[in-house]
Chain A
Amino acid sequence: MSEIEWKKVSAEMLILSLVEARPRHGYEISQLIEQRSGGAVRFYVASLYPLLYRLEKRGWIQGRWVEKEGQRRRRYYRLTPQGKRVLASQRRGWRAFVEAINRITEAENA
């Protein structure tokens, strides 16, 4: 896989894993990514939403307008069963990739 594709896959994977535990809305997702990466990874509106819509179109996540008490209507995204399978396989691929990278870089260090 080329570098660009890995970037794309990893961005998808980030979003899929963030909505795995519970449904989240777009702003929440972008905040979480920024916080958990210590500000290293940031999604702007112009790239986050197109990505969300693409994942939704593929049927991996599903967005729903939800109105909570005292809050505005927000669109929450949740992981679909299909998305769950995709995430699992992406995780496996990612792990294998990281391990391979590690083996290469560790050998160099030794």
Chain B
Amino acid sequence: MSEGLPPVLEEGGDRTVAGVRDGLGAASGAGGTGGLDRRRFIRWLLGFSIVSSLAMIVTPIIGFLIPSRTATAGVGGRVLAGTLESLPVGSGAVVAVGAKPAVVVNTSGGVKAYSAICTHLGCIVAWDAALTMIVCPCHDGRFSPATGAVVSGPPPAPLPPLTAVVEGSDIYIVTG
């Protein structure tokens, strides 16, 4: 080891470290391509130091910027959405379930509930009594109250269904 190191530390030009590779062992890493330029080796070392330093600093910063799970998680549970008296057959309403809106519709096939976030660009849909359809005010996307399927307009997918439960005359939406 002590025999191999001094030549690397000497002042000089682009001498290769091939002559001291035996002493440095794997440090050169040049394989069999005819020797590693000392200047390039130092540059590689400098680049490695800079990249690893940046990685060390940037990792906690990126981790910090990603919102925590508790901030993004929805709230689970049962939410009272209305009563059969306030929501007779053929009517619908948008209610808040935690921080997210849901649309509840009393159809001839029973009470249905869907996410009220339009699958097109995220506007909040509304119940249109005249059309008897769920309608998005942004681009006139229309959804079937019975299945949540797209009837017309640009939405690419049906409204995600939610679980609606009727107990007595109370309508609950169950999530989570």
A and B pair up: no
